[in-house]
Copies of this chain bind each other. A is one copy, B any other.
Amino acid sequence: MKIIDGSVTAPQGFLAQGVEAVIKKADKKDVAIIYSTHPASAAGLFTTNIVRAACVDINRAHLERGSAQAIVANSGNANACTGQRGWNDTIEMARLTGQLLGIDPHEVLVASTGVIGVAMPMDRIEQGIRSAAASLSREGANNAAQAIMTTDLVSKEIAVEIEIDGHPVRIGAIAKGSGMIHPNMATMLSFITTDAAVGSRCLHQMLAASTRQSFNMISVDRDTSTNDMVLILANGLAGNECIDNPSSAAGKVFQQALDFVCISLAKMIARDGEGATRLIEVQVINADSQATARTVARSITASNLTKAAVFGEDANWGRILAAAGYSGAQFDPSQVDIFLGGLQMAANGMGLDFDEDRARQELHQDPVIIRVDMKAGQERATAWGCDLTYDYVRINAAYRT
């Protein structure tokens, strides 16, 4: 597998664009379209928040056919908690995009992100869709990545190339994150394209497997969004024999590359968490079960006290163990070793007399690596988060106004 330039238009047959439609305040792009020139199988995973935007439910319905050819997205307005009008506006975004691209509106998936509970400015949205549809190109991928950003500081893009049946196959993706990030199915928002031929049912299984160890393992603030989604389109232009079984040789090669793409994006999202200065990677090893490893890793990345201590470069390992303890997982605290990078801070649940300067150096790294050895089995899990800073408070004290 090799990492290549570009993102959603790196695979064959994909075009994209992002334009300014004045949905957000400043001179920023806020409407994006990703389009496959050929029919594509598709899959999606969505937020488990029971307060959901219309686009989540409409995409679920559209994906029942297992195919989609375009994604239309906007930032600046989540179109959540907007009732029947919000539902109609989402349908209209799909209808107009389908009309402009000459495809069935059911082949269009819709994603919105931004403030909750405010009606969509549909005149500007429609103008944006027209403008984006008219200027789709392979070069437009970065603009699309920018157009889905809210408080993100950097756009999040990646592409890789693998070989399947002697055919070069590419996977490209963009994502946005920043705040209200504690995904529980997927993250707000991630769009993946590939020219691999993959059956839609198999595509869904592989997307779920990748999401489980990537987007579902990050947290910025423990708030699960109303609009989270990860979508993937596979148009088959690479010419490989269609992958219908994740366990096949080709399926395994594709899964590994998809895992890499999803984990890379998830880490970019955590690193660019609102106000964050550092990525925190929590590795739980030697747990008695996958569930314990995952639960403990996520609990530590979500602990405000641990996050604030990392920001302050304070090697307060007691907070790490406390967060493991209240996670809900059952384990023996007197077995646990804790490491900060290469430095052991606690052995068998008790503090060691470690070098404070060295600990401060480890906390100054990016990423900060916290390793928890449970010495109870062979399972492991990794989760990602970010530090809690003054800027997180500043950003969220006045997000809406």
Shortest A216–chain B CB gap in Å is 14
Give Cα A318–Cα B81 distance, bound, in whole angstroms.
7
**Beta-carbon contacts under 8 Å, A302-316 to B:** 302-305, 308-309, 311-312, 314-316
A83-B349, A222-B222, A333-B51 known; A393+B390 contact, CB < 8 A: yes
Q: Do residues A308 and B115 form an inter-chain contact, with CB atoms below 8 A? A: no
Cα distance A290–B122 in the bound complex, in angstroms: 41
Given that A50-B331, A179-B305, A351-B118 are contacting pairs, would A318 and B80 also be in contact in the complex, using a CB cutoff of 8 Å?
yes
Q: Is A51 touching B319 in the complex (CB atoms < 8 A)?
A: no
Which B residues are in CB contact (< 8 Å) with A325?
49-52, 224, 226
**Cβ of A180 and Cβ of B351 under 8 Å apart?**
no
Q: Are A223 and B399 in contact (CB under 8 A)?
A: no
Q: In the complex, which residues of chain B have a beta carbon less than 8 angstroms from the beta carbon of A399?
A: 305, 309, 312, 314, 316
Q: How far is the CA of A70 from the CA of B216 in the complex (A)?
A: 48
**A124 contacts the other chain (Cβ, under 8 Å)?**
no
Scoring A80, A81, A325 by chain B CB atoms within 10 A of each residue's CB, the highest score goes to: A81
Taking CB atoms, residues of chain B closer than 8 Å to A206 are none
8 Å CB contact of A312 from B52, B389, B398: B398
How many subunits of this chain does the assembly comprise?
A: 2
Which of chain A's residues 216-238 have a Cβ closer than 8 Å to chain B?
Answer: 221-226
Contact A117 B81 (CB under 8 A): no
Most buried by B among A83, A326, A399: A326
Tell me, yes or no, whether A400 is within 8 Å of chain B by CB. yes
Interface string of A376-401 (1 = CB under 8 A from B): 00000000000011101111111111
C-alpha spacing A334/B221, complex, angstroms: 25
Check B305–A180 contact: CB distance below 8 A: yes
Instruction: Indicate if A96 sits at the interface (CB-CB under 8 A).
Output: no
A286 interface hit (Cβ, 8 Å):
no
A82 interface residue per 8 A CB criterion: yes
Q: Which residues of B have CB within 8 Å of A304?
A: 221-223, 304, 392, 396
What are the residues of chain B within 8 A of A52 when measuring CB–CB? Answer: 325, 333
Q: Which residues of B contact A226 (CB under 8 A)?
A: 318, 322, 325
Say which residue of B51, B349, B396 sits within 8 Å of A322 (CB atoms).
B51
Indicate whether A223 sits within 8 Å of B305 (C-beta atoms), given known contacts A316-B399, A390-B393: yes
In the assembled complex, the CB of A228 is this many whole angstroms from the nearest CB of chain B, namely 10
Q: CB of A330 within 8 A of chain B?
A: yes
Bound-complex Cα distance A221 to B394 (A)? 17
B393 touches A51 (CB 8 A): no
Chain B residues near A293: list those with CB within 8 A. none
Q: Is A169 an interface residue (CB 8 A)?
A: no
Q: Which residues of B contact A289 (CB under 8 A)?
A: none
A339 CB–B CB distance under 8 Å = no
**Residue interface bits A321-342, CB-to-B below 8 A is 1, else 0:** 1111110001101100000000
B305 touches A221 (CB 8 A): yes
CB contacts (< 8 Å) of A323 on chain B: these are 223
- 8 further A-B contacts with Cβ under 8 Å, apart from A78-B318, A83-B334, are A48-B326, A51-B333, A117-B350, A223-B323, A304-B392, A305-B396, A314-B398, A388-B393
- Where the two chains meet, the residues of A that have a C-beta atom closer than 8 Å to any C-beta of B are 48-52, 78, 80-83, 115-118, 179-180, 182, 184, 221-226, 302-305, 308-309, 311-312, 314-319, 321-326, 330-331, 333-334, 346, 348-351, 356, 388-390, 392-401
**26 residue pairs bridging A and B, Cβ less than 8 Å apart:** A49-B322, A49-B325, A50-B330, A50-B333, A80-B322, A82-B351, A83-B334, A83-B350, A117-B318, A222-B302, A222-B303, A223-B305, A223-B323, A226-B318, A226-B325, A304-B392, A308-B393, A308-B397, A309-B397, A312-B399, A315-B400, A316-B400, A388-B393, A390-B393, A390-B394, A392-B393
